[in-house]
Amino acid sequence: MNITSKQIAELCGVTRGTVDRALNNRPGIHPETREKILRVAEELGYRPHFLAQSLVKGHTKTLGIVLFDIHNRIFSQLFHAFEAEARKRGYIVYLVLSHRDKELELEYINNLLDRRVDGIALLPANFNKKFESLLLRSRTPIVTFGNRLNGPFPYIWIDDKQAIQDSVSFLIQQGYRRLIYISPPLMRKGKENIHVPEQRYNGFIEACEATPDMRFDIIAQKNYLAELETLMDTTDSSSAILCSSDVYALEVLKWLNDRKIKVPEQIGLMGFDNIDVLKYINPAITTVDYNVNEIGTRLADLLINKINNQDIPSETLIAHHVVEGQSATAMR
Amino acid sequence: MNITSKQIAELCGVTRGTVDRALNNRPGIHPETREKILRVAEELGYRPHFLAQSLVKGHTKTLGIVLFDIHNRIFSQLFHAFEAEARKRGYIVYLVLSHRDKELELEYINNLLDRRVDGIALLPANFNKKFESLLLRSRTPIVTFGNRLNGPFPYIWIDDKQAIQDSVSFLIQQGYRRLIYISPPLMRKGKENIHVPEQRYNGFIEACEATPDMRFDIIAQKNYLAELETLMDTTDSSSAILCSSDVYALEVLKWLNDRKIKVPEQIGLMGFDNIDVLKYINPAITTVDYNVNEIGTRLADLLINKINNQDIPSETLIAHHVVEGQSATAMR
DNA sequence: CTGTTAGCGCCTTCAC
DNA sequence: GTGAAGGCGCTAACAG
């Protein structure tokens, strides 16, 4: 169906070796022969068979990236940057969505490995030894992000623990003395890789315990609004709700709005991630910002460098900072 | 590096043909030989080389999907559904982002073709004959969506013209008699494939012209807020702004908020797409809803059916309906 | 039942 | 400068 180098060889009355020399302009071929072959190839719209090339060259110029989903804006932005950098460096990417499902992730990883991707950017849901040894045995370059593994896999993200501590500091400074921390992923502890939620959780606990007179609660379940409800009568204007992600903060704000509870007048609210839809929300939600585009770009950069056998740092942490909105400003 | 069927053959003292029979459990092999081969393969963690398989089988079990971007929620949702259906049917997908850039789209299409993807789901930015003939010549199954080509390419989306007419009808019914239609993509007319924006535009014009006493304006430029400003002193509470997409409606609402112009008291506002972030917005934006998950699923379904040489409809239109919020409710 | 052979499309020595 | 041959890893048709 498609024109092959063999056919060109026949048409030009030469052998495939010569055609190859012309096509990949390698030395050792008469200029005229080259001209002719190139012309014929051009006319016939010859395009090399990428798979066949990959098979012999041993690389596919393909990257795989596994994400939980792209509903969370943070991940769709990350993908954008990743894809752009990959393209600039000559790679095309498989995007697969694990939905935090360990089985599915495993299935996908195996599939990507079978397809001989040159490297994988991985947001891991699995976390056990068996999984890691599969990755290691594959000898495929891998860079993790947004969740850490135990083995020697390079990692890029932010300093989550510090970021939450900064958030708590900010809230304390605003005069808040009673905090409710909402982080549903914590409920999957032991069942799933929740490295980042745990880092944030640890940061929260430490920061709170280091503060005299601080009261705090943790909500770690899927149905977090129901639990929040039971806590509401213990709150006042010196209370604030800190969410481990903007997506929860948005839900909480909506829930509070529906109940005519005013933010920040009656209770403070703070998110995390600074996803871009926040700009449309009233009141502006105080949150933690970090350059996710940079993460995406660096992620691709690191992975490709690793593919090229360059040394890359085992950990790359991107800067973060609290962005003050109007949702966590206690009446002092 | 990785174990091959040849090595298994040697280890088992048989030939590759036999190994192949065992691995792909084909008939004509002694149960014991099969057992042994399977056991050895299992122990060594043998996995077939997907590329080599593809090369000989003539298919790659790979789909390509080209999107403008995944910032617009409608596209990330669509991808989710597409990816899920593809996976269920045994395919993995390349996601490439054209950013509406015709050159880039072309480059990507060629790349996907070189990689011998089994099919392409295409949101086209290009629209000329040359582009279409490239697609046709490739003989690769293609299904378009969200923008139409002229050639015989199956298409799936919604009835955009009708949807805007329904929107206008709704606004008229609410008592609006002066409409401002905002659709920035229209400015790229002639330069880029804007099939859908044009359909919506046509629907708008027809619906307005069919209505006596209707005044209307079109804003078709990137800097639409600036143009909107010049029109604001010609509006009153019987005026409404109709946006060709929710993303513009969100910007407009923010802009109006900043100017303390009340929606819908002073002016009506309506969007299109019903992207999921709308649920967090106040006032609730009236918009047009359609099941984008269904589009994503059907898109994959159609494409795969086409790959399997089944007949598929040249046009598939998904239902839509106006969702009433509080942003376009004239004081009657 | 199993081995042999040929081929998918391309690249890469090694002779001539 | 060019041809011939072998191989990437797997499948498939044909013998035996």
Q: Which residue of B has its CA nearest to A54?
A: B51
Say yes or no: B181 and B280 in one domain. Answer: yes
* Average pLDDT value for residue range B156-181: 97
Report the Cα A257 to chain-centroid distance in Å: 31
- Chain B residues with CB under 8 Å of A93 CB are 94-96
Which nucleotides of chain C are near protein (any atom < 7 Å from a CB)? 1-13
pLDDT on residue A93:
98
Say yes or no: B201 and B249 in one domain. Answer: yes
Say yes or no: A286 and A296 in one domain. Answer: no
- Pick the range with the lowest mean pLDDT from A61-70, B23-32, B141-150, B310-319: B23-32
The neighbour count for residue B101, using CB atoms within 10 Å, is 15
Cβ distance B83 to A93 less than 8 Å, yes or no, reads no
- Cα dihedral A78, A80, A82, A88, rounded to 10, equals -160
Question: Residue B15, CA: closest nucleotide via C1'?
Answer: C3
pLDDT on residue A272:
98
Cβ distance A76 to B71 less than 8 Å, yes or no, reads yes
Say yes or no: B91 and B125 in one domain. Answer: yes
Say yes or no: B231 and B269 in one domain. Answer: yes
Say yes or no: B134 and B13 in one domain. Answer: no
E strands, chain B, in order = 62-67, 92-97, 119-122, 142-145, 155-158, 178-182, 215-219, 239-243, 268-270, 287-290, 315-318, 320-323
pLDDT digit string, tens, across residues B11-47: 888 988 899 899 988 888 888 889 999 999 999 999 9
pLDDT on residue B84:
98
Say yes or no: B86 and B106 in one domain. Answer: yes
* Average pLDDT value for residue range B305-312: 97
Report the Cα A194 to chain-centroid distance in Å: 14
pLDDT digit string, tens, across residues B81-99: 999 999 999 999 999 999 9
pLDDT on residue B26:
84
Q: Is the pTM of this model over 0.85?
A: yes
The B 45-104 residues near strand C by Cβ under 7 Å are: 52, 55-56
Query: Does A180 have pLDDT greater than 60?
Result: yes
Say yes or no: B115 and B223 in one domain. Answer: no
pLDDT digit string, tens, across residues A126-169: 999 999 999 999 999 999 999 999 999 999 999 999 999 999 99
pLDDT digit string, tens, across residues B182-215: 999 999 999 999 999 999 999 999 999 999 999 9
What is the nearest CA distance from A294 to chain B, expressed in angstroms?
A: 16
- Could you give the CA distance from residue A194 to residue A200 in angstroms, rounded to a whole number? 10
- Chain A residues with CB under 8 Å of B254 CB are 279-280
Q: Which CATH number does the domain housing residue A311 bear?
A: 3.40.50.2300
pLDDT digit string, tens, across residues B274-303: 999 999 999 999 999 999 999 999 999 999
* Average pLDDT value for residue range A20-37: 88
Query: Does A2 have pLDDT greater than 90?
Result: no
pLDDT digit string, tens, across residues A219-235: 999 999 999 999 999 99
pLDDT on residue B331:
63
Does B262 fall in a domain?
A: yes
Q: Is residue A48's beta carbon less than 7 angstroms from any atom in nucleic acid strand D? A: no
Query: Which residue carries 């070796």 as its tokens?
Result: A17
* Sheet-wide strand order for B315-318: A315-318, A155-158, A142-145, A119-122, A62-67, A92-97, B92-97, B62-67, B119-122, B142-145, B155-158, B315-318
Query: Does B9 have pLDDT greater than 80?
Result: yes
Q: Which CATH number does the domain housing residue A9 bear?
A: 1.10.260.40
Domain ranges, residue B122: 60-157+292-317
pLDDT digit string, tens, across residues A301-313: 999 999 999 999 9
Does B313 fall in a domain?
A: yes
Say yes or no: A152 and A166 in one domain. Answer: no
Inter-helix orientation angle B5-12/B31-44, to 10°: 120
Cβ distance A45 to B113 less than 8 Å, yes or no, reads no
pLDDT digit string, tens, across residues A120-132: 999 999 999 999 9
Query: Which pLDDT band, with edges at 50, 70 and 90, does B332 fall under?
Result: low
- Could you give the CA distance from residue B229 to residue A69 in angstroms, rounded to a whole number? 39
Identify the residue with better confidence: B3 or B113. Answer: B113
The size of chain A, in residues, is: 332
Say yes or no: B251 and B189 in one domain. Answer: yes
pLDDT on residue A255:
98
Give the type of residue at B218.
Answer: I
B179 and B235 Cβ atoms separated by less than 8 Å: no
Query: Does A332 have pLDDT greater than 60?
Result: no
Out of B1, B70, B96, the one facing A70 most closely (by C-beta) is B70
* Average pLDDT value for residue range B213-234: 96
Say yes or no: B115 and B173 in one domain. Answer: no
Query: Which pLDDT band, with edges at 50, 70 and 90, does B58 fall under?
Result: very high
* Average pLDDT value for residue range A17-32: 88
Domain count of the fold of chain B: 3
Query: Does A330 have pLDDT greater than 90?
Result: no
Say yes or no: B257 and B305 in one domain. Answer: no
E strands, chain A, in order = 62-67, 92-97, 119-122, 142-145, 155-158, 178-182, 215-219, 239-243, 268-270, 287-290, 315-318, 320-323
Does A300 fall in a domain?
A: yes
- Could you give the CA distance from residue A223 to residue A54 in angstroms, rounded to a whole number? 49
Q: Whole-number Å distance, CA B54 to C1' C10?
A: 14
